[in-house]
Structure 1
Amino acid sequence: MVSEFPLEPKVCIVGAGPAGICAAVQLKTELGLSDITIFDSNNEVGGTWLVNTYPGCCCDVPSHLYSFSFAPKNDWSSFYAPQSEILEYLKDIVVKNNLYFNINFNTTVNRMIWKETTAQWFVEYSHNGSDRVTGKFFDIVINASGILREPKAPKEFTNFKGTLIHSARWNPEVDLSGKVVGVVGTGSSGIQVIPAIADKVKQLAVFQRTPPYLVPRAQFKYPECVKWMFENIPSVRWSHRAALFWLHELLYLSFIHNNIGSFVATRVTRVQRWLQIKSSELRKKLTPSYAVGNKRIGVSLDFYRALQKPNVELVTDSITQVTDRSILTANGKEYPLDVLILATGFHSQDYFAPITVFGERSVNLMDVWKKNGPQTYLGVMSHPAPNFFTILGPHSGSAHGSMIFMIESQVAWIVKALTYMKEKEVNYIRVTQAAEKEFMTLHEQKLASTVWKNETAGNWYKDDQGRVTALWPSNFVSFWNQSRTFVPESFDLKMVSAEKEFMTDDDE
């Protein structure tokens, strides 16, 4: 049970999506670690890019920005990569780094329990379809299960007895040809699904609660000559990537309340509506009443066009009832449906679900977070959970750029922390409450000037008490500056042996 942590820690990574893959690669290449176990409930790597296979699924961040700095891909087919190409990119990284041997597929982690006497985590897991629970001890746990993982499906839709699909659990065997279809939701997934299926279905009813802001999607195929330059002149590729990065950093200015950037972004989205939507009535339905950026901005040139097709109807009256074969709205109209597609998002505030994490003194971390709001340091560590790191946890999401940058920044910081532990020959790390409080104060200060703090429209960035918990409320450069160094004074660091009891704060 007890390992010589400073020499070779036993590491558990939960999730084999982009975050888990990045963590495993960097632990192997930067620290030379080999005792790494990755658990994933799916049957293949890829995470969100494995399970999201709905029609039109693609990344809304440019391909050369949505890729790891340590694994550049010179031959991206297009400016915005489709789901299938991103999945193959991730699989290729796993193969090149021999990570398949480290992964336990079809395995669900149920509980993680901190053992104070040995400074280890006891991780309980079960194989899909089995009631048998197994457990192992690990020195380090890295939660990389992702923030947009558990689909949100309001209970009233379970009344529907036709074909019911959530966009995040797409069934490829369902044939939409000639069917009367309803889509609930016009967020990021709905914006992609609706244009992709509009020409296939007989009738399409789109149920919208809140209209999205849209910016044009400049999609194009990379010419072979450009791919050749990316391959043979690395500076060209890196210049392209750098230009994309700084362009997206400028987009952050759109989210500052009453800022010139917000003014410009609002005008750009307004121009797109005027150019693409012919009907003034439809344009009014698709005009947001909240500030730009308060909800995630969509990227599309096809969404408005799809809504103007003769077989498509945008419904903005609220849904009052879902029957076994139809949806009823507040104006008394009934919409009979063969297929109902839910593009209703995810449980973004359930960071570990369905995993229960018991930290020091058996504290249930999610219970504490739901009561007081998540308290973290860099979105990576939380005081009640020593030796426990989270990638893309609270306070680290992005509304303006590539999550890959945030993943790499957090993983780089974790590597620095583990390197320091190895150098000092300690097996216990816990962020101090003072450091955690200082980071949360910084988070609130940066949040104060943004539209997320100053607007009331709901979005997945907020918890059920209206607290903005999912986002890093500034640009990427500021997060990189915060996370580029490891500050030992911000942590409790020590060696805990199995022969003596864990020392509490009172004992110390």
Structure 2
Amino acid sequence: MSTPLPVDHLVIGSGFAGLAAAIKLDEDGERDLVVIEKGSDVGGTWRDNTYPGAACDVPSQLYSFSFAPNPDWSMSFSPQPEIHAYLQRVAREAGVLDRFVFDTRVESARWDDDQQRWLVEVTGPTGPATYAARTLLSGAGGLSEPKLPEIEGIETFQGDVFHSAQWDHDVDLTGKRVAVIGTGASAIQLVPELQKVAGHVDLYQRTAPYVLPRHDRRYSALEKAALRYVPGLQKLYRTAIYWGRETYVPAFTLQPKIAAPAKKMALDNLKKHVKDPVLREKLTPTFEIGCKRILISNAYYPAVASDNVELVTDPIAKITGSGIVTADGTEREIDALVVATGFHTTDIPIAHAITGRTGRTLAERFAEHGMSAYKGTTIPEFPNLFMMVGPNTGLGHSSMVFIIESQVAYIRDAIRQMRTNRLATVEVKEAPTADFNAGLQKRMKRTVWTTGGCASWYLDAEGRNTTLWPHATFTFRRLLSRFDLSAYTVTGETAADETTPSREAAHA
């Protein structure tokens, strides 16, 4: 092991979460920080997901940092290249990129009780290195590790195969026979683009989603100028969109029948674009709206109804070297396979790499207790560890950037209190953690995600919803408005802590 490089704060990931943490800690004067990023640039999900048609399904004015408004969005719903460019610009203008370490992967992070630091082993272009960090902030996210389906024979397929989140732009699909497995948020965006160029598309559907019309529009030059120069206008846009989105919450968490107008809109959208009654029946969801993620698209249904697309609802039995065999024995020959089967959300890979005070990994704790945290951010046994976009912080209706900024505010206050009170460690207690999650799961039993009659990636193997927040987002922000030190076990700094050399000194 290399000699550990001391650092106050080590951040994993440079998507919205990691970037927000780095910028805000830097503003607080916490400049001794390192951001470890496995990719070659900032952006996280919005750097990696470059499939055709990739775009956000939350309006641009809300899906951006409150502290870095952007008057130059081209559309009311931003395409992927614009979101990535936005994050690049924000990082550059904030002046924090000198502390980002790219093309480097976290191999392990282990809490050392003697040093009261996280020993984080990484591997990058120059080889392995180790950091000794006072705090560890995970911004790895729940949509960062693509999930491949466990289908017999998939490894034997001789054609091109790739996940939607790892799109191979070197493969020309023009005129090809392409299969797409999955009908989630990524699939409904890429299928219309594939339909335009492929010779034939087989779309394998396990569950039909609800698809609402996408009320997208292009901003005019005059409107963009007004957003830039009229004081308060962009904030007004953002506020109106935010509260409009919050009106969805009761339908998700209290009474699904409130969503009847949205359900009718989705079914009308289907009826409008799919005239074939047999195909329409296959595309009609069999659960309550909101139980699975509600999707938005104006192009999906017309694409599926086109002559060169076949919707396949028979289960996949196996994959051969040249095609896909369904349970009825039919084999469909293909040239390329696109897997749009989502991500590891209830078994996040980073949890296997983090070992806490008791010697067990975060994944092992989650296996015993279910994936859970205190206020979605801290976990017993893991001192000075802060998870952004942690358990039960996901949303089915609004912008994750709002959740991220709420968590970053909580973490900033934690670090301020550690400085003020000369604390070496803070570790959330078991009792408040258990109480918090018991309340969450009790509330979850009333939500459409539990009662709506579907199986979804929101649920873990035990049927618990460990991914979503079952209240309004302003409730989450209020809960994380200050760091509640009374919920934590703390230890004070020692003389050694006070004299530990800075990272800059260690490099000198």
TM class by shorter chain equals over 0.9
Structure 2, unmatched stretches of 5+, are 498-508
Residue 451 of structure 2: aligned partner = 454
Structure 1 stretch displaced more, 244-253 or 197-206? 244-253
Taking the TM superposition and a 5 Å limit, the aligned residue runs for 1:98-497 are 98-127=95-124, 132-156=127-151, 157-256=154-253, 258-353=255-350, 355-497=352-494
- 3-state SS of paired residue (2:342): coil
1:459 to partner: Cα distance: 1.3
Alpha-carbon separation, structure 2, partners of 1:139 and 1:397: 27
Distance change >3 Å, CA 353–CA 428, structure 1 → 2: closer
Alpha-carbon separation, structure 1, partners of 2:4 and 2:166: 41
Between Structure 1 and Structure 2, how many residues are aligned? 493
Amino acid of the structure 2 residue aligned with 1:303: Y
- 3-state SS of paired residue (2:247): helix
Alpha-carbon separation, structure 2, partners of 1:108 and 1:254: 41
- 3-state SS of paired residue (1:399): coil
Structure 1 residue ranges (4+ consecutive) displaced by more than 6 angstroms after TM superposition:
1-4
CA deviation profile, 1:251-300 (whole Å, cap 9, x unmatched) = 22331364342322222212211222211111110111111111111111
Residue 16 of structure 2: aligned partner = 18
CA deviation profile, 1:19-78 (whole Å, cap 9, x unmatched) = 10000001011x111111010111111111111100000111111110000000011100
Distance change >3 Å, CA 2–CA 285, structure 1 → 2: closer
CA deviation profile, 1:469-494 (whole Å, cap 9, x unmatched) = 11111221111121112222111222
Alpha-carbon separation, structure 2, partners of 1:152 and 1:2: 33
1:86 to partner: Cα distance: 0.4
Alpha-carbon separation, structure 2, partners of 1:337 and 1:278: 27
Amino acid of the structure 1 residue aligned with 2:22: A
Distance change >3 Å, CA 426–CA 3, structure 1 → 2: farther
Tell me whether 1:70 sits opposite 2:64 in the alignment. no
CA deviation profile, 1:156-188 (whole Å, cap 9, x unmatched) = 322211010110000111111111111110000
Residues 212 and 286 in structure 1, CA contact (< 8 A), matched pair in contact too: yes
1:456 to partner: Cα distance: 4.8
Alpha-carbon separation, structure 2, partners of 1:166 and 1:206: 14
Query: Could you tell me the TM-score, scaled by structure 2's length?
Result: 0.94
- 3-state SS of paired residue (1:93): helix
Residues 428 and 493 in structure 1, CA contact (< 8 A), matched pair in contact too: yes
CA deviation profile, 1:288-315 (whole Å, cap 9, x unmatched) = 1111111111111110010111111111
Distance change >3 Å, CA 459–CA 411, structure 1 → 2: same
Distance change >3 Å, CA 496–CA 362, structure 1 → 2: farther
Structure 1 stretch displaced more, 15-24 or 478-487? 478-487
Alpha-carbon separation, structure 1, partners of 2:118 and 2:182: 40
Alpha-carbon separation, structure 1, partners of 2:189 and 2:89: 26
Alpha-carbon separation, structure 1, partners of 2:327 and 2:231: 58
1:401 to partner: Cα distance: 0.8
Residues 52 and 170 in structure 1, CA contact (< 8 A), matched pair in contact too: yes
Alpha-carbon separation, structure 2, partners of 1:46 and 1:366: 25
Residues 458 and 468 in structure 2, CA contact (< 8 A), matched pair in contact too: yes
Query: Could you tell me the TM-score, scaled by structure 1's length?
Result: 0.94
Residues 5 and 130 in structure 2, CA contact (< 8 A), matched pair in contact too: no
CA deviation profile, 1:439-496 (whole Å, cap 9, x unmatched) = 1122123212101122452211111221111111122111112111222211122214
Residue 503 of structure 1: aligned partner = none
What's the % identity of the aligned pairs? Answer: 34
Alpha-carbon separation, structure 1, partners of 2:187 and 2:403: 25
Alpha-carbon separation, structure 2, partners of 1:395 and 1:71: 26
Alpha-carbon separation, structure 2, partners of 1:117 and 1:497: 11
Alpha-carbon separation, structure 2, partners of 1:443 and 1:239: 32
1:127 to partner: Cα distance: 1.5
Amino acid of the structure 2 residue aligned with 1:28: D
Amino acid of the structure 1 residue aligned with 2:76: F
Measured on the aligned residues, the alpha-carbon RMSD in Å equals 1.8
